[in-house]
Chains A and B, each alone.
Chain A
Amino acid sequence: MEKVKVLFIEDEDFLRSLFSEALSLDTTRKYEVLKAQDLISGLDVVKISEPDVIILDLILPTNKAAGSEDLSEERGFEFLKKIKADPKLKDIPVVVFSNLNEPGIKAKAMELGATEYLVKVETLPQKFVETLKKIISSI
């Protein structure tokens, strides 16, 4: 069975572990979990590893090592725009995975080309896996 490459762009290690562990419980598919803690390394991993799906947190540091933190969703949107504007990367489904649940933000993410918008606190691991499986089977 070919592994599905899932890239988590998420700076909270504990959250990434939780949802990676949920994927490891899925007996119908095998997953290779890739990780990036900030947007700069996120873009590098996308280009080098060409994941099948990207899980994108919206509030992320630009560069984790520099300790810089921007608590706004704008950088996450910029990242989404970059992916969707790149002919080589634009077809990779991006699931925006954030605890921001304002309708305007969800609408903007979808407008920019996100495949799905999930609110972390409302998404139990089982639902996360189901959503991902649906997206993967439609690729």
Chain B
Amino acid sequence: MEEEKSFLRVAKHQLKTPLTLIKGYLSFMQSGDFQKFPPEKQKEIADKMAISSEKLNFLINDVFLSLQIKEGIKLSPESIKLKEFIEDIYNTALKPNYEKKGLIFNIQNGDSFEINSDKFYLTIVIQKLLDNAEKYSTPGQTVDINIRKDDKYAIIEIKDSGIGLTEEEKPKIFERFFRGAEARKIWPSGSGLGLNIVKGIIETLGGEFSVESAGQNQGTKSIVKLPLIL
């Protein structure tokens, strides 16, 4: 209860940050002050407002999702062909951004793997991890997805060659609202809730989630373990 209260307090605070910026710049427009800035500054301000609106959207979605997961989610297990499923998510939601950045999406193995899990929540997991890999990679790099299995689990590894994690960041990545310094610079709209949500969903699905990195600028590997049958 105390934890949720503190989460809501921080969430309220976080939601107000992009709102402050949007309200502030809008007041420049209402008062006519906006016109006093040179054109390049006006463009910069418009971009900041767009980023803040996007951040607000991410925050609202992720705060609600985070609360939903904490309260307990109702699962609807069904058969999922893993490789096809991940490719579909990539093609529908991520491909334009990967192509724009010149990233190579390389998925290997897992052609015959089927698991029994919840499609809706697993989509959120894969989407967030592929999105992170894209955001934190440098143009032209490759994002490798490898699917394998052992006796109990299907294992999905998503590996990028991006900004990686510092030693100080590693123990904090699952904390709600934590964002590394480099991650903030590269993707200012991020909510700081993504990995916490991913971990929460995977554990609800009976699986395990871990993240590895050899260090800053050494890339990141997300390892998702899902039970073959939910």
Contact B25 A18 (CB under 8 A): yes
- Which chain A residues border B20 with CB–CB below 8 Å? 15, 18, 99, 120-121
Across-interface contacts of B27 in A (CB, < 8 A): 124-126
Binding site of A, secondary structure by majority: helix, strand, loop or mixed? helix
* A59, B28: Cα distance in complex, Å: 26
**Interface stretch (choices A45-53, A64-72, A74-82, A109-117):** A64-72
Shortest Cβ gap from B183 to chain A (Å) = 9
How big is the B interface, by class?
20 to 34
CB pair A66–B17 under 8 Å, yes or no, is: no
Interface residues of B in 122-176 (CB under 8 A from A): 166, 168-169, 172
For the residues of B in contact with A, the DSSP-based class is: helix
Q: Does A130 contact B (CB under 8 A)?
A: no
A14 to B178 CA separation, bound complex (whole angstroms): 18
- Asked whether A100 lies within 8 Å of B13 as measured between CB atoms, the reply is yes
Task: Assess whether A14 is in contact with B188, with CB atoms less than 8 Å apart.
Answer: yes
Chain A positions within 8 Å of B, measured between CB atoms, are 12, 14-15, 17-19, 21-22, 25, 59, 64-69, 71, 99-100, 120-121, 124-126
A-B contact pairs, 14 of them (CB 8 A): A14-B51, A14-B188, A18-B48, A21-B28, A21-B37, A66-B168, A67-B180, A67-B181, A69-B177, A69-B178, A69-B179, A71-B10, A126-B27, A126-B31
